Structure 1
Amino acid sequence: MKTQNTIPKIVLTAIAIFVTILALFPLLWVIIAGFKEKTEVLATPFRFFPEQWRVTNYTDILSDAVFQQAMLITFGGAIVFAALTLLVNASAAYAFARLEFRFKGAIWLYVIMTMFIPGMAILLTSFIVVTKMGMLDTMGVLILPGIASAGHMFFMRQFYLNIPQSLEEAALIDGAGRIKIFTGIFIPMSFPVFVIVGIGAYLGYWNSFVWPTMTVTNIDLVQIMQYLYTFRSERSSEMGMLMAGSALSALPTIILFLIFQKYIISGIKISGLK
């Protein structure tokens, strides 16, 4: 009987290890390729490990002032973007979940419809709007246009709909207003959901390339993906530095996932129950 239970566990463990190796292989290759000479990265036949381990790619890119600036400005922008995304979408989600107002159904339908419009379809019109507003080459053009998200509103609204109505009714009886209820009851209960939405917003900002390329030319506002792209154009021979820069640019995201992994799992469980 014990043998029958052990064999499936061994098989599942082996599958889990295999899938983990497949998932981590690209990241491991990028990290190790950062220790290669620039001619080794794309050399044939393929070699996973370098002939001679070198740290010059990492030291050179870490000493690059433009790389440092791009990492800092992108990280700061991503944090602000994630915070504003949570504030705006959580407030809207609470309103749609708990408040009653005129044309609520029609407005919610209009919001949900935007989920089915590809971002590329409105890229040109969005660029024209921000140009006429004089927002080019500012942090505002990178942060403000993408804050409101129908997908995030929908996810949060579904969570708020499942919070017991009795909690809100008790708070209203005690004299609490809607803002007090939202900040005192709903926000503290929303931490797992906030982690999921916040990290999603952070990743969306961090990995953005097309929009920053269209709207930002100021070297002081260059985003990390714009910086890394220069290795595919002006600096195409420095592939080792590109690998080192890619590995370092992934580091903040990896750290965030390690810090919030417990809440990410909780959020995924919550989303599966709604």
Structure 2
Amino acid sequence: MNRHWYSPRRLLSYALVVVIAVTALFPLAWMAISGFKGQTEVLRTPFQFFPEVWNLDNYRAILEDPAFVRAMGITFLGAVIFTVASLVVNSMAAYAFARLEFTAKGLWWVVCIMPMFIPAMAILLTSFVVVSKLGMLDTLAVLIVPGVAASAQMFFLRQFYLNMPAAVEEAALIDGATRWQIFLRIFVPQSLGPFVVVGIASFLAYWNSYVWPVLVVSNPDLTQIMQYLATFRSARGNEWGMLMAGST
């Protein structure tokens, strides 16, 4: 087996993976390193990847900004709550659609999965009207609740549950286990891998959200990190080094 590790096909695959990884990580690395540069170095021509002198002034300045710290804290709190809620709601719904039988199951599945094919912008106004009528504007809940039930994540977990062997579930039912016990003690422990995928997707979806927070939140205490970064340039001018530090 070891004599084939250097085969041309495998080496080509490794090289392709390295190229893709470098291409994907280069902008992130440049952003992080630019936070150590002065204003003139960030805009220097020709392009220079590393700074001549490494300094923490930009990172120190951004971390000393109370608005930035507050935005980071409230965004992190919201992202954690959103991620946990997404895992709970989507995993339970996926289990129900994968393993339970109930009236109009197929119809309800179509209803739950349809939002995956509708652009978010198409229902933005409708969503705003709904949360406004419910009195949820300018609350942390309005940033969390509307996006908790996600069609793509529900579909992903349902497919995973459909592929789990039915024999274990049937044996548990024969032994007198309830559906809740089967879900919590059999399906959840087996779902750690998919949960990591869904958790990361949920966390990043909340963290990177910009349009929705701008529409539904005007309270400075609830300003999200993307809102803060979007207003940074107008408030600070063209301080690109600090902007890169804050984005990192």
Q: Same fold (TM over 0.5)?
A: yes
2:121: which partner in 1? 120
Question: Matches of 2:167 and 2:22 in 1, distance apart?
Answer: 47
2:165: which partner in 1? 164
**Given residue 130 of structure 1, which amino acid in structure 2 is its aligned partner?**
V
- Tell whether 2:50 aligns with 1:57: no
**Given residue 162 of structure 2, which amino acid in structure 1 is its aligned partner?**
L
Normalised by the length of structure 2, the TM-score is: 0.93
SS at match of 2:6: helix
Q: 1:189 to 1:3 in 2, by over 3 A?
A: closer
SS at match of 1:79: helix
- Tell whether 2:122 aligns with 1:89: no
More displaced 10-residue stretch of structure 1: 158-167 or 50-59: 50-59
Q: 1:112-135 CA deviation, whole Å, 9 max, x = no partner? A: 222111100000111111111111
User: Once superposed, what is the RMSD of the aligned Cα atoms?
Assistant: 1.9
Shift of 1:240: 0.8
1:192: which partner in 2? 193
5+ unaligned residues in a row in structure 1: which ranges? Answer: 248-274
The answer (yes or no) to whether the contact 1:84–1:147 under 8 Å persists in 2 is yes
Question: Matches of 2:116 and 2:13 in 1, distance apart?
Answer: 37
More displaced 10-residue stretch of structure 1: 39-48 or 191-200: 39-48
- Tell whether 2:191 aligns with 1:175: no
SS at match of 2:51: coil
SS at match of 1:35: coil
1:136: which partner in 2? 137
Normalised by the length of structure 1, the TM-score is: 0.84
5+ unaligned residues in a row in structure 2: which ranges? Answer: none
Question: Matches of 1:194 and 1:39 in 2, distance apart?
Answer: 44
Alignment of 1:231-250 (within 5 A): 231-247=232-248
Following TM superposition, the consecutive aligned residue runs of length 4 or more in structure 1 with deviations greater than 6 angstroms are: 2-5
Shift of 1:45: 3.2
Q: 1:183 to 1:11 in 2, by over 3 A?
A: closer
2:105: which partner in 1? 104
Question: Matches of 1:55 and 1:140 in 2, distance apart?
Answer: 36
Shift of 1:14: 4.0
Question: Matches of 1:172 and 1:14 in 2, distance apart?
Answer: 50
2:226: which partner in 1? 225
Shift of 1:49: 2.5
1:39: which partner in 2? 40
Identity %: 59
**Given residue 161 of structure 2, which amino acid in structure 1 is its aligned partner?**
Y
